[in-house]
Homo-oligomer: A and B are copies of this chain.
């Protein structure tokens, strides 16, 4: 399926996590904040490139851009709306919340490298199991910028021990979409107590010999929104991404 068709389905109301959709096209995290808070958010992203690799920033009020021939207000399957840092709605369309001073950030997503993992022979368990990838707020702190601060959020994929090196090497070639893992192994190093109770997304079943591998996650700006309390922020619901017209190969080193 091509991105325009997928976005049309989501615009028509289909709600689903997007892992595995539109093979070869780049999926993005969305975070939109008012123009007068955008400097701190852009600087936060620049200072934390592993969780917040910026693919594009739209002009204030713009709903499309060079890598999106669509509409950020309607083309994501499910949104989260935050007012003063509190989630107030989880709609499928945010036109009623839209303001002309909103600046939208499109941030790289690890779904981009999942096709490469598969091609390298690394199983992607959450796709196999038909669930959303599990994500966790960690005890690691991002480098703050102005009023914006927050914890690192990570996504987790179980990887067979014999394939951990392959998974690291494969994803390292995609620095624009989180790149190599931030941690391999014991989740307690990240302050994560229970892998079966993710903060976002779904728990995934492991297989014997699997090791948990953690990548920086583009939900990190949402955790920063909760902590930094801008008057309004619009984001995708975790795992329900904006499918862009960019190609995964564009971000391969």
A91 at the interface (CB under 8 A from B): no
- The interface size bin for chain A is 10 to 19
- Chain B residues within an 8 Å CB radius of A30: none
- Chain B residues within an 8 Å CB radius of A43: 42, 57
A183 at the interface (CB under 8 A from B): no
A166 at the interface (CB under 8 A from B): no
Given A46-B57, A57-B46, A57-B47, are A175 and B253 also a contact pair (CB < 8 Å)? Answer: yes
A200 at the interface (CB under 8 A from B): no
Q: Chain B nearest CB: distance from A113 CB in Å?
A: 14
- Chain B residues within an 8 Å CB radius of A175: 175, 253
* A132-179, CB < 8 A from B: 143, 146, 172-173, 175
A225 at the interface (CB under 8 A from B): no
- Of all chain B residues, the one with the shortest Cβ separation from A35 is B39
The CA of A57 and the CA of B43, in the complex, are separated in Å by 7
A211 at the interface (CB under 8 A from B): no
The CA of A253 and the CA of B56, in the complex, are separated in Å by 21
- Chain B residues within an 8 Å CB radius of A39: 38-39, 42
- Of all chain B residues, the one with the shortest Cβ separation from A36 is B39
19 contacts between A and B (CB under 8 A): A38-B39, A39-B39, A39-B42, A42-B42, A42-B43, A42-B46, A43-B57, A46-B46, A46-B54, A46-B57, A47-B56, A47-B57, A59-B146, A66-B143, A172-B253, A173-B253, A175-B175, A175-B253, A253-B253
* A-B pairs with lowest CB-CB distance, top 8: A253-B253, A39-B39, A46-B54, A42-B42, A43-B57, A46-B57, A175-B253, A38-B39
